[in-house]
Structure 1
Amino acid sequence: MIRLHNVSKTYRTDKVETLALKDIDLAVERGEFVALMGPSGCGKSTLLNLIGLLDRPGRGSVEIDGAAIGSYGDKTVARLRNRTFGFVFQSFHLIPDLRVIDNVELPLLYRSLSGGERRKLAREALTRVGLGARMDHFPNQLSGGQQQRVAIARAIVGRPHVLLADEPTGNLDSKMGAEIMDLLLQLNAEGTTVVMVTHDEQEARRVGRIVRVFDGQLVGQEQLHAA
């Protein structure tokens, strides 16, 4: 489903050149749950951004369902990203002045849907993450775990094939973190492909495969459970 071939990424400023990723070859199959692990600054988030088409490699190619996206224009990439991926981050990135249901609707504004259709999909997504009764609340009226559930509802509202999660439990206590992991595992069991960056070995060992990153390179993989 997702293929990275000999991918490298370098960030440059006037005085500094930083090699973030070097010669990455990685495949993520449909239905997998993959954990990306490694020390801070090793390139995990950069790798996740390249998988999710939020950035482009300096060298190498990224393929989605067999199509290399290197020749695609920005608008085509944006459409593909919007329909293929949902994103969950360590910081919830909810808009505080918008109700929960309005936050969840945001990714659908880029699609040709009526207001009624958007509202219906947002309600379904919030019900799916257990927040059907909190649709009209504002983010500051929710706990951290509930806010992350809203973020997951926003990520899945467009029914993406792949959910990309960057430290989704990093700002949560252990109980709330376990609840979010349970939800991600449930979504994966229902068919959503999940790629997650995490520092938590215990969390990682609940998924299908661990991919370890160090100094911008893949240094090992461990298959834990079949996809």
Structure 2
Amino acid sequence: MIKLNKVSKTYRTDKVETLALRDIDLHVREGEFVAMMGPSGCGKSTLLNIIGLLDRPGQGSVEIGGVSMKGHGDRQLAALRNRTFGFIFQSFHLIPDLRVIDNVELPLLYRSGGGAERRRLAREALEKVGLGARMDHYPNQLSGGQQQRVAIARAIVGQPKILLADEPTGNLDSKMGEEVMDILLKLNGEGTTVVMVTHDEQEARRTNRIVRVFDGQLVTPEHLHAA
């Protein structure tokens, strides 16, 4: 499903060169739930961005679904990203002036299909995360946990094969964080591949496998079965 081969990434400014990733080999199988862990600044988010085609590697190759991303232009990558991935971030990135259902519909604006179909898919996604009754609310009328569930609905509205989550419970208390993890585990159980960056060891141990990143490199991965 996801295959990285010898991926490296260096960021350069006029005075400083920073090696963010070095010789990353990573294979995520279809239907897997993988947690990425490591100290702040170790390269986890950079790695997630490269997997999600938000950034390009400096060296090495990325394959998604058996297809190499080498030679793809920006427009091709954007279209593939929209069809293949759903993104969940620590900050919910909801638009405050839009109702919940309008926020969820946003990824579908870049696809073919009419307004009625977009609205139907958005309703289904909100019902899936338990917010069917809140679709006409605005983000500031919701709790933090509810806002993150809206963000998950937005991520899954296009029925992506892969969910990428960067600290999805980082801004939530433990109870709300557990609810969000339960939703991610349910989606994974339904067949969605999930790659999640987290600092929470307890959350990570609920996934299938933990990949540890340190100073831009993968250290020995820890294989675990979901609890």
Check whether TM > 0.5: yes
Question: What is residue 219 of structure 2 aligned with on the other side?
Answer: 219
Q: TM-score, normalised by structure 2?
A: 0.99
Q: In structure 2, list runs of 5 or more residues that go unmatched.
A: none
Structure 1 residue 34 corresponds to structure 2 residue 41? no
Query: Which amino acid is the alignment partner of residue 4 of structure 1?
Result: L
1:67 Cα deviation after fit: 1.1
Query: Which string of whole-angstrom CA distances, capped at 9 and with x for unpartnered residues, describes residues 34-81 of structure 1?
Result: 000000000000000000000000000000111111200111110100
Instruction: State how far apart, in whole Å, the 1-side matches of 2:173 and 2:87 are.
Output: 21
Question: What is residue 61 of structure 2 aligned with on the other side?
Answer: 61
Instruction: State how far apart, in whole Å, the 2-side matches of 1:70 and 1:4 are.
Output: 12
- Number of residues paired by the alignment? 226
Question: What is residue 110 of structure 2 aligned with on the other side?
Answer: 110
Question: What is residue 198 of structure 2 aligned with on the other side?
Answer: 198
Instruction: State how far apart, in whole Å, the 2-side matches of 1:221 and 1:143 are.
Output: 35
What is the aligned-residue RMSD (CA, Å)? 0.6
Where 2:117 maps in the other structure, the secondary structure is helix
Query: Which amino acid is the alignment partner of residue 172 of structure 1?
Result: L
Where 1:24 maps in the other structure, the secondary structure is strand
Instruction: State how far apart, in whole Å, the 2-side matches of 1:169 and 1:67 are.
Output: 31
Give me the identity figure in percent.
81
1:209 Cα deviation after fit: 0.2
Question: What is residue 51 of structure 1 aligned with on the other side?
Answer: 51
Query: Which amino acid is the alignment partner of residue 114 of structure 2?
Result: S
Question: What is residue 148 of structure 1 aligned with on the other side?
Answer: 148
Where do residues 1-227 of structure 1 align in structure 2 (5 Å cutoff)? 1-225=1-225
Instruction: State how far apart, in whole Å, the 2-side matches of 1:19 and 1:95 are.
Output: 34
Instruction: State how far apart, in whole Å, the 1-side matches of 2:50 and 2:113 are.
Output: 28
Q: In structure 1, list runs of 5 or more residues that go unmatched.
A: none
Instruction: State how far apart, in whole Å, the 1-side matches of 2:17 and 2:132 are.
Output: 48
Q: Structure 1 residue runs of 4+, over 6 Å off?
A: none
Instruction: State how far apart, in whole Å, the 1-side matches of 2:71 and 2:225 are.
Output: 35
1:150 Cα deviation after fit: 0.1
1:223 Cα deviation after fit: 1.2
Instruction: State how far apart, in whole Å, the 1-side matches of 2:187 and 2:69 are.
Output: 27
Query: Which amino acid is the alignment partner of residue 99 of structure 2?
Result: R
1:98 Cα deviation after fit: 0.2
